[in-house]
Amino acid sequence: MHVFHTVTDFRQWHAQSAGRPLVIVPTMGALHEGHLDLMREARTLAGDGGSVAVSIFVNPLQFGPKEDFAKYPRELEADSAKCASVGVDAIFAPSAEEVYAPDRSVIVLETKLSKVLCGASRPGHFDGVCTVVLKLFNIMQPDISVFGKKDYQQLAIIKRMVRDLNVPVEIVGSETVREADGLAMSSRNRYLSADERSQATALRAGLLKAKEAWQSGEKGGEKLKRLYLEVLKERAPLSRVDYIECTDADTLEPAEEVGSNGLMATAVFFGATRLIDNIELK
Ligand SMILES: Nc1ncnc2c1ncn2[C@@H]1O[C@H](COP(=O)(O)OP(=O)(O)OP(=O)(O)O)[C@@H](O)[C@H]1O
Ligand SMILES: CC(C)(CO)[C@@H](O)C(=O)[O-]
Ligand code: BAL
């Protein structure tokens, strides 16, 4: 497996496999089983003749000034071993200087889907995500890129960017991988104390309770949100809910009545740690 730190080196490698499909998995590193699952899916999508590349880059542009950019875990050696174990062909791990010119002046702005849910709590976050993802697409020139449904809004926004800007990359969404007790895997779970970690299972439990009610005929968004909040209150006294919303799964517009293409998405703080999760109501 190759590890490249510069655009030139990555492109040279990719040029040697001209004509064969490239599938990429963009990440910020600190890899866990959720990421590895995306890589296995990428391996399948690439087929025998294709290649799989993983980008590892903690993108400064998508962090707010009070967020965890400085303390975000960076562990390239352990990440490389994990990538090799699932058959990744190349890692692209550039420095911030390699990615961003000091006098850069162009960014990608998504103007609608990025204003709700996580975008409302993290202003500018999805501008940073869109900008770096478009740059990674331009640098790596993949045929397919795989993203996790855990970051459902991110996936929806990237699909929209690719559609609206005619970016020639197919976007594939992959199911959320969970711990045995239901908590969605995330690099940020390691920040949780033991008590917070056990209470964090309430996100999944609350979403499942709301989904059960929806399946039994309850379509009211407010009622479904209340059911979720009851579970949080009962099972996670250390939590502070950032948001819980019912939306359309594609447009992310709020849904007073949740029909057959719904999404419930949530973000919850435990101390300074912010966890997200969601469930499709389909
Ligand atoms: N549990 C998971 N299941 C499936 N995909 C996941 C999971 N966690 C992350 N991903 C996906 O992996 C890709 C890289 O995500 P990222 O590196 O931010 O990981 P993360 O663990 O979500 O970290 P963070 O704590 O920053 O949210 C994204 O497409 C994301 O949706
Ligand atoms: C897509 C991404 C790698 C862009 O920095 C990041 O937002 C992530 O890890 O989900
Ligand atoms: N997985 C989303 C990256 C972030 O939280 O910045």
**One domain, residues 212 and 237:** yes
**Half-sphere exposure (Cβ direction) of 55: Cα atoms closer than 13 Å:** 29
Largest CA distance in the chain: 57
Q: How large is the average pLDDT for residues 118-138?
A: 98
Encoded tokens for 73 = 């875990």
Q: How large is the average pLDDT for residues 146-169?
A: 98
Q: How large is the average pLDDT for residues 187-216?
A: 98
- CATH number (domain holding residue 109): 3.40.50.620
125 has catalytic annotation: no
Q: Determine the Cα–Cα distance for residues 22 and 17; give it in Å rounded to an integer.
A: 9
Q: Determine the Cα–Cα distance for residues 185 and 191; give it in Å rounded to an integer.
A: 12
Are the C-beta atoms of residues 129 and 157 closer than 8 Å to each other? yes
Q: How large is the average pLDDT for residues 37-65?
A: 98
Residue 251 pLDDT > 90: yes
- Strand-by-strand arrangement of the 170-174 sheet: 2-4, 90-92, 51-56, 22-27, 144-148, 170-174
The confidence score (pLDDT) of residue 254 equals 97
Q: How confident is the model at residue 160 (pLDDT cuts 50, 70, 90)?
A: very high
Q: How large is the average pLDDT for residues 236-250?
A: 98
Strand partners, 270: 239, 273
Q: How large is the average pLDDT for residues 95-111?
A: 98
Q: 107 phi and psi, to 5 degrees?
A: -135, 170
Q: Determine the Cα–Cα distance for residues 15 and 7; give it in Å rounded to an integer.
A: 12
Residue 186 pLDDT > 90: yes
If phi over 0 gives left and psi between -120 and 50 gives alpha, with beta otherwise, what is residue 30?
left
Q: Determine the Cα–Cα distance for residues 184 and 176; give it in Å rounded to an integer.
A: 7
| Whether the complex's predicted ipTM surpasses the cut of 0.90 | yes
Which residues define the annotated binding site for (R)-pantoate?
Answer: 62, 154
**One domain, residues 251 and 203:** yes
The confidence score (pLDDT) of residue 102 equals 98
Residue 176 pLDDT > 90: yes
Encoded tokens for 141 = 């020139």
Is pTM, for the whole model, over 0.95?
yes
Residue to mutate (ligand 1; options 25, 136, 150; most atoms within 8 A of CB): 150
Domain that residue 193 falls in: 187-281
| DSSP 8-class letter at 189 | G
The confidence score (pLDDT) of residue 17 equals 87
Q: Determine the Cα–Cα distance for residues 61 and 69; give it in Å rounded to an integer.
A: 10
Q: How confident is the model at residue 19 (pLDDT cuts 50, 70, 90)?
A: confident
Structural domains counted in the chain: 2
Residue 39 pLDDT > 90: yes
**One domain, residues 142 and 198:** no
Residue 271 pLDDT > 90: yes
Q: Which residues line ligand 2 at a C-beta cut-off of 6 Å?
A: 26-28, 59, 62, 129, 132-133, 151, 154
Please check whether residue 182 lies inside any domain of the structure: no
Last residue of a domain, one of 145, 174, 203: 174
Cβ contacts of 76 within 8 Å, gap of 6 or more:
3, 29, 56, 93
Q: How far apart are the first and last CA of the chain?
A: 40
The confidence score (pLDDT) of residue 18 equals 81
